[in-house]
Structure formats: C-alpha cells, structure tokens
Amino acid sequence: MELHGLISNIFYLLFLFIIAGESVHGFRPTKLFVFGDSYSDTGNNPKSLASSWKAPYGLTFPGKPAGRYSDGRILTDYLARFMGIKSPLPYQWRKYGQNKLRCGLNFAYGGTGVFDTGNLQPNMTTQIGYLKGLIKDSVYTKQDLQSALALVTVSGNDYSAYTSAGGSEQGLPSFITSVVNQMEINMKAIHDLGVRRVLVAMLQPLGCLPQLTVLTSYQQCNETQNSAVGFHNQLLQQAVAKLNNNTKDSSFQMLDLYDSFNKVLKNKGDFTGSLKFDTPLKPCCEATTSTAFCGSVDQNGKPLYTVCNAPDSMFFWDTVHPTQAGWRAVYLTLRSSLNQIYI
C-alpha cells in the first residue's frame, strides 16, 4: 500500500507540473530574444558586407557561410540547445520564417555595441526598439514575453571604436563607466517590455584575443587589456545587483564569459568534458598579408588566408571569435551556472 501511495503521489505531482507549464525549478523559458554583436549574431549582418557570409566561415556547420562569425555554432546556438529550443531566427530573415518565430528572435548584429561603433548597423538600443515594434504589432503577446529569456552580449566593439577614435588611456575608466551605464539602461528596457529574465554576458578577456596575442607569437595574453576588462565586469556586476534590488525576483543574471574563457585557455582542457587546445591563443584562420583578414580574397579570387587542418582542435577561429569547438568548451564550463535561469 505504501508503494502504491507513493506512485500515486508521483503521478499527481507530474500532473501538477504539466498543467502548470513550468519546470521543477519554477521557470522554463520557451523563447529566446538575443541582443548584441558577433558573439551572438547568427545571420543579421548584410551578406554584401560581412565576412561571416564568406568562405571559410561556416566550414564546420552548416558546411557553408551562413552569417555566423565562426566555423560553426556559436554562443546563441548552445544557449538555445540548453533551453531545448531551436536557435532563434535572425531578425532580418523573419519574413521568411513566420512559423519559426515561436522560439524567439535574434536581434544581434556583428560589429555593434551599446553605442554606435562606426559599422552602420543597429546598436543595442535600436535592436531593443525592433522588439518593441513587434510587440506593438502584436507579433508577440504579454504571455510570450513572460515565457522568454533575453541574452545580452557586449564583446568589446565599443572599446575598439573608442581606441580607433583616439580615445586616451586616462579617459578609458570614464568611458567604461558610460558603456556599463548604458547597458544597465538597456537591460532595464528589455525587462520593462515584459521579458521575464535577462541574461547578460560579462566581457571576455580581451587581452587573450589573437589580434593581441599575435604580438607574442600567440604565447601570452595582454594583462593591461584584461585589467580594463576586470573594471568593466566589476561595474556590470554592480549594475545587475542594483537592477535585481529593484525587481521582485532575480530577473537579471550574469553569464561569466571571463571566467569560462580563462578556464579553457589557461587550463588547456584539464576539466571535465572539455577538449584540449594545445595552442589556445592561436587562430585557425589566419590572414597571409598584413591588410587581409579571414575571408579576404585578391582580385583574382585567390584566398588571402590559410585555414588549419582541424578547426575542432583550435579554440579561436579568427582573430576575435572562437571556433565551434571553442564555444562548446565555453558552454560546458557555463552549463551548471545556467541552471540559475530556472530559479
């Protein structure tokens, strides 16, 4: 009788779980809205302008250039997989996939930032405006937003633009503060639209990107750059804590790309479930001239780059972006912390 009673209770709890439409933890997002740059863009940038639409991008997945800044899957794809949904359609292609909008939408554009970065693509405020417009047009309802998770990525384009415009080292702390202040405004704006949970990525160690480590033959990171990143991330943590204090639950959560990148790059795979990258700071796709980049060709169509034999053995794809294998390793270090989404 005791066993029969236990089984009955289990089925009753399962019944309650199903009719509630929630996970055991209380919140199960069924839609993903993405705002940011090339670390999360899956095909919004124009085909005529972006290297992500040129060979050899997409070499591993889907086997041809498809708008991702990698040889294959990126952060967005792995987060969607964790949620158990399909990777959301890029905003630019929404008219060709109306039946796919149920998984959310990706508003991220490679090369953009919270401010204008000079690449003429929509910054984060404009991206949020696109979602606002879709809500106004009743494409998404209040219920849709209540079951949604937002991913916000900022990967350093604001700082590249600052440096390119002649910004001084002395003025950098003030500029970092302005970037994070704008991120706080943007995160609040997303939540105010009705999105239940906002996941914001911390800045990765910029000093470890191949565009800088090339100066040491890909042997060591630039710690000056990483110190500035540390200041950005510290301010971002404070901003998230402030936002959470002003909401009823933990609506805003951090995605620690700084720690996850470091675990993969410095430990060289000495943790459960990761691949080992023997030369983690070296890119797979390298330009063959000083003015070229991955995807460049000469006037005869000859590639001005080389591609490594095994992209799955490299962490970085080009001078800035991880390979699919790199993103998978990062995702594996983040997977346990992602469970906080369901609280």
Q: Please confirm, yes or no, whether 38 is among the known catalytic residues.
A: yes
Contacts 24+ apart (CB under 8 A), 22-28: 23/342, 24/342, 25/339, 25/342, 25/343, 26/342, 26/343, 27/196, 27/197, 27/341, 27/342, 27/343, 28/147, 28/342
CB 40 within 8 A of CB 75: yes
pLDDT in tens, 154-191: 999 999 999 999 999 999 999 999 999 999 999 999 99
pLDDT at residue 97, rounded to an integer: 66
Dist. CA 146–CA 184, nearest whole Å:
20
141 pLDDT exceeds 90? yes
Q: Where does 21-99 have alpha helices with state H? A: 75-83
* Residue 321 is among the residues annotated as catalytic for this protein: yes
Mean pLDDT along residues 137-149: 94
> What phi, psi does 105 have (nearest 5°)?
-145, 150
One of 51, 168, 321, 337 is an active-site residue; which one? Answer: 321
CB 30 within 8 A of CB 22: no
Supply the pTM of this predicted model. 0.91
Instruction: Write down the pLDDT at residue 270.
Output: 54
* Domain residue limits, the chain: 24-276+327-342
**Whether the predicted pLDDT of 3 surpasses 80:** no
How confident is the model at residue 241, as a pLDDT? 96
Q: Is the pLDDT of residue 31 over 50?
A: yes
Q: List the catalytic residue out of 23, 37, 38, 116.
A: 38
Q: Which of 77, 158, 259, 318 is catalytic?
A: 318
What pLDDT was estimated at residue 276?
75
Residue 12's pLDDT is: 42
The confidence band for 9, taking pLDDT boundaries of 50, 70 and 90, is low
Alpha-carbon span 113 to 183, nearest angstrom: 10
pLDDT tens figures, 65-120: 999 999 999 999 999 999 999 999 999 999 876 677 999 999 999 999 999 999 99
What are the backbone dihedrals phi and psi of residue 209, each rounded to the nearest 5 degrees, phi first?
-70, 145
pLDDT level of residue 273 (50, 70, 90 thresholds): low
| CATH fold for domain 24-276+327-342 | Rossmann fold (3.40.50)
Helical (H) or strand (E) element with 152: strand 148-152
Provide, rounded to the nearest whole percent, the portion of the chain with pLDDT above 70: 89
Q: What is the pLDDT of residues 236-246, one digit of tens each?
A: 999 999 999 99
Say yes or no to pLDDT of 132 above 90. Answer: yes
Mean pLDDT for the chain? 91
